[in-house]
Structure 1
Amino acid sequence: MENVIILCKCTGFLIFVLIAKKDLLEGDILRSKDYMKKVYRNFSEFVSECSSRELEYFIFDSKFTTAFNERIKEIIDEIEMQGKKSVELAIIFNTEGEIALIDSFIIGNYIGNSYIKHMEEYYKEASLNNIVKHVVNGSEKAKRDFSILSYTILYSTLNSIYCDIKCRKETLESYVSLYDLKHCKDDDCSIVVASILIVEDICKYIGIKEGVLSDSIKSVATKRNSQDD
């Protein structure tokens, strides 16, 4: 069993702990949707939270891309700037100095920042909250476009984070069948399903009907399938 190092950053102190067995850190994660009932001041906070929780549920082991490894220190600095110094952040490194496991809060924060950046660029709006408000009060087409864009942003972001993914097989197979994801292969399929899980939460939270979401995802899948034929 390889050794791992846990870096805990809590209230300004750094604590290094050498763990002999990674198994001690692993356990069954009960899926809870309590975050769907909360009220968030900023919509990006919800995106960060639901991303963190869905990925924690769906992915149980993975490696991280070189680019994401290099971004970790910057991400931690960004979190501290938000005044979250009391949050315990755990990073596990393997013997080669690569990130083997990272606190889900950091992953969620990274995804939330990416989501708000690309959404505001696309809609040319200064506030993600305003974008969501317009979508909620908009037409079915506006909701469909929002769903597709959300999926596209999340897929791109997750693809920049993960590689060599191990996930819940039953969930993966269920979604591949549900959305006819025959274009999926290996890690790409895991990224696609993880993106859908997060988009489902986003759409449900703001009241976009399941039919609109389903049509949006299937339209993306159909386009991908036709490109692969």
Structure 2
Amino acid sequence: MDEVNGTVAPGFERVREVFEANFTVGGDVGAACTVWVGGHEVVDLVGGLVSPASDEPYTRRALQMVASATNGAMAICALRLVERGELDLDAPVATYWPEFAAAGKAEVPVRWLLTHQAGLPHVDPVIAMDDVYRWTPMVEALAAQAPVWEPGTRTATTLIYGWLVGEVLARVTGLNRASSCARRSRSRSASTCTSACRSPKWTVWRHWCWRRRPRRARRRTRWPR
């Protein structure tokens, strides 16, 4: 295993042990981990290689694809609406998004969108990337699609969580995804939700990180264009 570099604050030594185990046991190739608590950096670790076929070390400036990074932020937006009594997790999605009732989905509750149980782990039609950015073609395809399995019987991570939950937010508030979150969230999570609701979700990870990181740490960050 390549050497793991970095520091951990007292009380966070276990994080380093688990991080190192990801290489020796978990088969990790290259990784970095930074944790901030109360405005202070308590974990800053990096190790491994950029790829199995490379001798180039994985550094703090290595670019890394991430997935599902903003699911939690999107869920916060939905739960804020629940707190205000504007969204019922046990109501059918079709209550707010009538087109979603197609293809046997009339009784699927909002809760199952949040818990990955709606039977829609992906979108069946081939969607051009231009249409992915336009949002509407994606949600129209999902509304028309039949579940891959019987809703409520399985749980599986989806790649279209943002579109499913985001369209419900838009229907409830009458706003687009970003505006809905920004106006409905009146806490520190507001900027997080605003970024998370833009599509597709992987393109907004750098915005989400930027707004959440302590100001003094932003100077070191170079985001991919």
* Structure 2 length-normalised TM: 0.28
Answer 1 or 2: which has greater helix percent. Answer: 1
* Structure 1 length-normalised TM: 0.28
Q: Larger Rg: 1 or 2?
A: 2
Answer 1 or 2: which has greater strand percent. Answer: 1
Bigger relative CO (Cα 8 Å, ≥ 6 apart) = 1
